[in-house]
Structure formats: structure tokens, C-alpha cells
Homo-oligomer: A and B are copies of this chain.
Amino acid sequence: MVDILHRVGVVSSPDDVYAALTTIDGLAGWWTEDTDGDSDVGGVIKFRFEPGGFDMKVLEAKPAERVLWEVVDGPEEWIGTRISFDLKQEDAFTIILFRHEGWKEPVEFMYHCSTKWATFLMSLKKLAETGKGDPAPHDVQISNWH
């Protein structure tokens, strides 16, 4: 089992970070502007990017504490994987513990997604701290795979 793990601290409340993870507007503010769908538990959120996208089923949404998605459509390597965000408060920070788990193999695309997730989590931090993130198509280019 190989997982992508990240930890980012946001100078903002857990409620604000939770909103950025559970509302279409919030998600569009840091991951991709082309976000649509139903962000309630049981709903499916559609994230679209230039080269394609991901459909996520919302499995858990516990206010100010935890969000869990399952990938129900997208690149083959992603389907069936799960993405979670666990929130806690430490000092002036809301700490996000991020996991993207269930990858079958550590393929090169996984290396890419690991780095890309880090930059998007920094975009989420920026959104919550300044009001403006760097969602696609304004995201940081990290390589030839974008």
C-alpha cells in the first residue's frame, strides 16, 4: 500500500478550512475553478481541469474535523482511491492532515500527484489566509505534466 501524505497548517479557523473543503465555491477557490456538483454527503463533486478531471463521492463530512471522498471517475489509477482531510487546531493554525490512499502501485503519475497535491494544499492555505488561492487554470506548473 502506498499513500500520499501531507501536513499543512493554515492560519485560519477549522470552520473556514472546512468550508473550503465542503462548498463548491470554496473548492473552486483552491483546486480548480471548474468545480461543480453536490458537495453534501452522498453527493458527487465534479472537478475538471484542462486535460480531464475527477469525480469524487463525498463519504464523510464532519464539520471542522474531517472530510472523506472516494474517487468514482477519473484517471484509471485514481478510481477507487480515497482522499481525506483531517483537521485539528494547534497554536494559531488549523492543521490539515491529508491522505490520498489506496494507490495500487507507486507509478510515476503518483510521484507527480504527490507534488501537485502539495502545491494545491498551499493554494488552499493561501485562499484561507488571504482570500485568494491558485486554483487551476492558475495553478503552479511543476513539470511537463503540468
Contacts and interface: CB of A to CB of B under 8 A. Distances in A.
Size class of the contact patch on chain A: 20 to 34
Could you tell me the dominant secondary structure of chain A's interface residues?
mixed
Contacts of A125: 142
A112 interface: yes
Contacts of A8: 115, 142-143
Interface string A131-146: 0000000001011110
Interface of A: 2-9, 90-93, 95, 97-98, 106, 108, 110-112, 114-115, 118-119, 121-122, 125, 140, 142-145
Instruction: Please give me the 5 A-B residue pairs with the lowest Cβ-Cβ distance, nearest first.
Output: A9-B143, A118-B118, A7-B111, A7-B112, A6-B115
